[in-house]
Amino acid sequence: MNLGVQHFEAQQPYEAKPSPTGQAHGGGEKFIDLAWLTALIWRHKWLMLGLVGGIVALTMIAYLFAEKVYEANVILALDRSEQQIVRTAQTNRDNVIDSPAVDTEVQVLLSPEIARNAVIRSRLNTDAAFLKAKVPDTTAPLSVEAATNLVRSGLKVERKGLSYAINLRYKSNDPEVSAMVANAVADAYVGGQVQAAQTARGSDIQMLRSRLDQLRGDVLRAEAAVAQYRARADLVSISDDDTIAQQELSTLNTELAAAKADLAAAQGRASANAGENGSVVNSSPVISDLRRQVATLEQKLAEQTSSLGPAHPDRVRTEANLAAARTALQREVARASSGVGQDVRVASQRVGAIQGAIGGARGRLLAGNNASVRLAELERVAESSRQLYQTFLDRYRVQLATRGTEKSKADIISRAQTPRLPSSPDILVYMIGGLAIGIVAAVGLALALEWRENGIRTRTEAEEFTGLKVISSLPDIATMDEPDFRKGEPLSVPDFLATHRESPFAETVRSIWTALRIGQKGQLAKTVGLTSSIPDEGKTSTAMALVRSAALAGRRTLLIDCDLRRMGTTHAFGLGEGPGLVEVLSGLSTLKEAVVVDQSSGAHVLPLNTTNSNNFDIVQSDMTAALLDHCKAFYDLIVLDIAPAIPVAEARAVAAMADVVLLVVRWRTTPKPLLKTALRELHRADANIFGLVLTQVDARSAAVLGEDMAYYQYYYARDKAPLPV
């Protein structure tokens, strides 16, 4: 027989180390692979949920047995202004509450004195409930100091934000005690402030009364000194004297100014009338006549001078008349000028007299001013004493009027109520903490399981690890929500395929012979061997499903059981009584006599005889290769159900006789080292490994991972129309 079989060059496997996030280094590496994390959580969801639930349950048990602490709250508000019936500007200015004052009051509330007052006022050191809550082992009364320390140990005071409110809290394992002590401390604080204010006001009244007696004497002495000096200086009313002297001086100054003005006017007139061209001289009619006479005589003399001699009587008479006229004119001008000078002298004397009067008035005013300086000083001392006395008197009256109206500068706006729920432990904190611890533990457990797991999880991981392509991923039908699937029966998977040809599982099986182009032009192989690394990986179910799928599609198919030890195909179909593969190879039976037809699909099956199947050497002989070549003429597809490659030696020899070999890998179960060993052994036997087939893939996890069956299931869920036969 011609044993010439077309061989395909197989890729050599290599090992790709996965990254910490589950993404192989061969592809695009991500810092966090969300798909891998999602798949991890989905695969271990029930275990993780159980662990989280258990830890939360333990946390709640711990909460139930934890000691309960109750917290009671009192809210106090500080008044921002002094509460007084009679207010003064000084009082309001000194008593405005500011932010540091609020912080100071917080420290006051935490002081030992407030806690001590609370113990004394409420008698906490002898209170049975307080003693039972704080000192369960004794019922004897405590000292005030010991009770004070116990009160301070559970007390907490803090300011509420930036407001003027103070939150006072007290913790105790007894809810009634927590409310009682919180109210006792608040009452001690408020009551103590009122008592302190009353004591301070009494002290202020006593001090003011003593001071008023002293100031009253000071006022009387100062006023007596003013009266004595006024009498000694003969000053009935220095203010009136000052006014008269100042009025007199003002009048004289006015008259002096007028006299000086007259003097200046007279001097001006005198200057203007000095000589023959003065205004007074020019305005005099006598002087004017005399000047005309002089002019006439001068003109006449000039005429005579030109015609008469010096001794001529007319000329002499004219000269005599001219000299007489001139003398009269000079005399008249002198008389007129002397009258103006007299006015200047009179005005000058009047100015001197007024200036003398001013000097006298100024001297009297200066004397009065010197006396008033000392008097004013004495009056200022007296007025200062009166004002100081009046100020203290006003304060004394205010203190008397407001006696008995003292109140605390803090008001209790919310008294403590008995708490119903404990403040510690907080059930929400316990739940959140337990949930967080449970989640962390669950994730840690999942990671630990994942670390221990050494199987193939995704197509990408399988291809990167082996260097071979994944022909198909067959889902676990039990994870596909198919109610009529009978899990555990020998023919459960092939029967499901025959009755559910429209299912995603059937589509994944069809993808195997479609990839090999079975029955098509350019068919890649006719004999296909299915083997696995170790047993129980689903190779027999895959082989039967593959044969039935191709047969139902009209392909001529033959399934040969080559697993001499387990005979999975033979047992699944209920055969083994008649002749089988060994009998055909031995010549004890013909192929036609040994082949059985599968009624569900029309596929042919060559089983093994259960009583004569220990001839291991004949299966790996050349007769098997010749049989396969003979069958190629009658069948489109010949499937060999081969034993696992690692534990069975003849499996590798039979695999080498097939055109191609499909290595079946169980999802998340087949250890990677064994898978690597199987590939190495098959390559050493010159088997032509065409690719991998992943089996029993969890459909839900695969959907999360984005495997191809997720899209099959989505498609068929929307279109339930049966495929044509």
CA–CA separation, 694 vs 532, rounded Å?
11
Using one digit for the tens of pLDDT, what is the confidence trace for 203-230?
Answer: 888 888 888 888 888 888 888 887 887 7
| Residue 79 pLDDT level (bands cut at 50, 70, 90) | confident
168 - beta bridge partners? Answer: 74, 157
CA–CA separation, 352 vs 256, rounded Å?
9
Residue with tokens 């917080």: 106
For residue 719, the tally of other CB atoms under 10 A from its CB is 7
> Could you write out the three-class secondary structure of 112-123?
HHHHHHHHHHHC
Query: Beta strands of 124-257 (E only): which ranges?
Result: 155-159, 165-172
Using one digit for the tens of pLDDT, what is the confidence trace for 181-195?
Answer: 999 999 999 888 888
Residue with tokens 């002290």: 203
506 close to 480: Cβ distance less than 8 angstroms:
no
In a domain, 640, yes or no: yes
| Residue 113 pLDDT level (bands cut at 50, 70, 90) | very high
Tell me which residue of 495, 506, 601 sits closest to 551, measured CA to CA: 601
| Residue 91 pLDDT level (bands cut at 50, 70, 90) | very low
CA–CA separation, 109 vs 168, rounded Å?
8
Q: Per the structure block, which two tokens stand in for 554?
A: 């009209």
CATH number, domain containing residue 617: 3.40.50.300
Which pLDDT value is given to residue 345?
75
CA–CA separation, 109 vs 152, rounded Å?
10
122 close to 138: Cβ distance less than 8 angstroms:
no
Q: Per the structure block, which two tokens stand in for 10?
A: 């197989």
Helix, strand or coil, per DSSP, at residue 477: helix
Helix, strand or coil, per DSSP, at residue 27: coil
Q: Is the pLDDT of residue 86 over 50?
A: no
Q: Please give the backbone phi and psi of residue 5, each rounded to the nearest 5 degrees, phi first.
A: -120, 135
- Average pLDDT of the chain is 81
Tell me which residue of 212, 205, 171 sits closest to 70, measured CA to CA: 171
In a domain, 392, yes or no: no
Instruction: Tell whether the torsion through CA atoms of 407, 410, 411 and 416 is positive or negative.
Output: negative
Q: Is the pLDDT of residue 408 over 80?
A: no
In a domain, 353, yes or no: no
508 close to 712: Cβ distance less than 8 angstroms:
yes
For residue 545, the tally of other CB atoms under 10 A from its CB is 28
In a domain, 160, yes or no: no
CA–CA separation, 636 vs 16, rounded Å?
37
Which pLDDT value is given to residue 482?
75
Domain count within the chain: 1
| Residue 625 pLDDT level (bands cut at 50, 70, 90) | very high
Q: Is 127 exposed, middle or buried (0-12, 13-18, 19+ CB in 10 A)?
A: buried
Residue with tokens 């007769």: 623
Instruction: Tell whether the torsion through CA atoms of 386, 388, 392 and 394 is positive or negative.
Output: positive
In a domain, 139, yes or no: no
Q: Please give the backbone phi and psi of residue 516, each rounded to the nearest 5 degrees, phi first.
A: -85, 0
Helix, strand or coil, per DSSP, at residue 692: strand
| Residue 73 pLDDT level (bands cut at 50, 70, 90) | very high
Using one digit for the tens of pLDDT, what is the confidence trace for 500-542?
Answer: 888 888 999 999 999 999 988 889 999 999 999 999 999 999 9
Rg (CA), the chain: 68
* Domain that residue 502 falls in: 469-696
Contacts of 284 (CB under 8 A, 6+ apart): 332, 336
Which pLDDT value is given to residue 723?
43
In a domain, 446, yes or no: no
CA–CA separation, 489 vs 500, rounded Å?
17
Give me the sheet containing 70-78, strands edge to edge.
Answer: 155-159, 165-172, 70-78, 410-414
End-to-end CA distance of the chain: 37
Which pLDDT value is given to residue 561?
95
CA–CA separation, 7 vs 683, rounded Å?
13
CA–CA separation, 45 vs 60, rounded Å?
22
In a domain, 610, yes or no: yes
663 - beta bridge partners? Answer: 531, 692
CA–CA separation, 204 vs 691, rounded Å?
106
Q: Is the pLDDT of residue 388 over 50?
A: yes
In a domain, 225, yes or no: no
155 - beta bridge partners? Answer: 170
CA–CA separation, 367 vs 138, rounded Å?
95
Instruction: Tell whether the torsion through CA atoms of 500, 504, 505 and 510 is positive or negative.
Output: positive
DSSP notation for 522-591? T---SEEEEEESSSSSSHHHHHHHHHHHHHHTT--EEEEE--TTT-HHHHHHT--SS--HHHHHHTSS-H
Write out the H or E segment, with its range, that includes residue 660. strand 660-666
Which pLDDT value is given to residue 134?
81
Using one digit for the tens of pLDDT, what is the confidence trace for 125-166?
Answer: 888 888 888 877 777 888 999 999 999 998 999 998 888 899
C-alpha angle 86-92-94 in degrees, rounded to nearest 5: 130
35 close to 142: Cβ distance less than 8 angstroms:
no
